[in-house]
Amino acid sequence: MKIFLDDSHCREQLFPFTHTRHTADIRIGILTIREKWQKLIAGSIYTLTEDKTDNPIIITANTIPTLHNFKTLLGEKAASTGLTVNNDASAIKIAEYPWHIFQFNDWAIRQDFELLTKYKISRPVSETNTCINESNIFIGEDAIVEHCILNASTGPVYIGRNATVMEGCMIRGPFSIAEGATLKMGSKVYGATTIGPYCVAGGEIKNSVMFGYSNKAHDGYLGDSVLGEWCNLGAGTSNSNVKNTAAEVKYKTGHAMEAIVAGNKGGLLMGDYSRAAINTSFNTGTVVGVCCNIFGRQFPEKYIANFSWGDERYKLEKAIRDIDNWKKMKGLAITEKETTLLEQLYKSNF
């Protein structure tokens, strides 16, 4: 079976995260949308037009598959998957806007937890931890979790392989920390929160998603928010997720776009490779583009365009060099593919 995940009609509304990735590579819940499909079917997942061969099943890439809806999404060809599941078409969710990533995250973690742990056995939870509803906790291979409080009565707690949850952390599900990620000492994490691969997280976090390789390593509040990859929040940085008037939160994801109501809670949406200086305070409903360096004495604007350097424009050569410096801190280096993509984005002057 071959599936073509088409994002031609949905990617514009999911900026800033689709400036630097296909919609299928958005992380929501424990896995990305592409990873969910790879777990669900034995077949090929295509996302590029040149791979659209042999009459694949075409699915809109922002549709979120689960054990309970994927047969409906596949239609008549579902029988070839060979899986017998409860099929609930009413449980289909489509991420139309970037704030749907944190709004759907509670549901998505629960769905992914079932998918990933259906036929697996968790490592034993260390006796140094205090657990509530331990049957709803899964700990992967070589993960380190000691002297923590894990409350899975409100949702599952998933700790990926080689993840580290340092002593004193208080976690309330639904919660996921992915492979190689670290949650620092004494962190307070509320559901529904996802800490992606090789992220470093700390302080107070609630209902937020960190895609991968990003840092929110210090005290400060991150709530109802999404951080892309290779982001960094300086010590003491916090965001507001509720307006002082308790009015509706609106987001604007581009200069030419009208603000759209997202509900009564909405925090920070930060694109890949962006960073904020220590003690930055983000207003409710803030959108930060790709590759921004945010600093200054005033509150940041609620919409910050790609390649912003304070109040100026980032020089491309410096932006790429700075990204490479950050990647070296995690033992990696910027790739030619990333450099080409950033050059194209820079020239497009979005």
Q: Is the model more confident about 87 or about 166?
A: 166
Q: How far apart are CA 277 and CA 115, in angstroms?
A: 38
pLDDT of residue 199: 98
Model confidence over 15-60: pLDDT tens digits? Answer: 999 999 999 999 999 999 999 999 998 656 666 544 555 678 899 9
Q: pTM above 0.85? A: yes
pLDDT of 146 above 70:
yes
Q: How confident is the model at residue 78 (pLDDT cuts 50, 70, 90)?
A: low
Q: How far apart are CA 177 and CA 183, in angstroms?
A: 8
Q: How far apart are CA 302 and CA 128, in angstroms?
A: 43
Model confidence over 285-298: pLDDT tens digits? Answer: 999 999 999 998 78
Q: Are 41 and 2 in contact (CB under 8 A)?
A: no
Closest CA to 111 of 62, 68, 142: 68
Burial of 244 per CB tally in 10 Å (0-12, 13-18, 19+): exposed
Q: Output phi, psi for 98, to 5 deg.
A: -65, -30
Mean pLDDT of 116-139: 96
Q: Are 210 and 194 in contact (CB under 8 A)?
A: yes
Please give the structure tokens belonging to residue 154: 């409100």
Burial of 85 per CB tally in 10 Å (0-12, 13-18, 19+): middle
Q: How confident is the model at residue 82 (pLDDT cuts 50, 70, 90)?
A: very low
Domains contained in the chain, CATH given: 2-83 (no CATH), 97-213 (2.160.10), 222-350 (2.160.10.10)
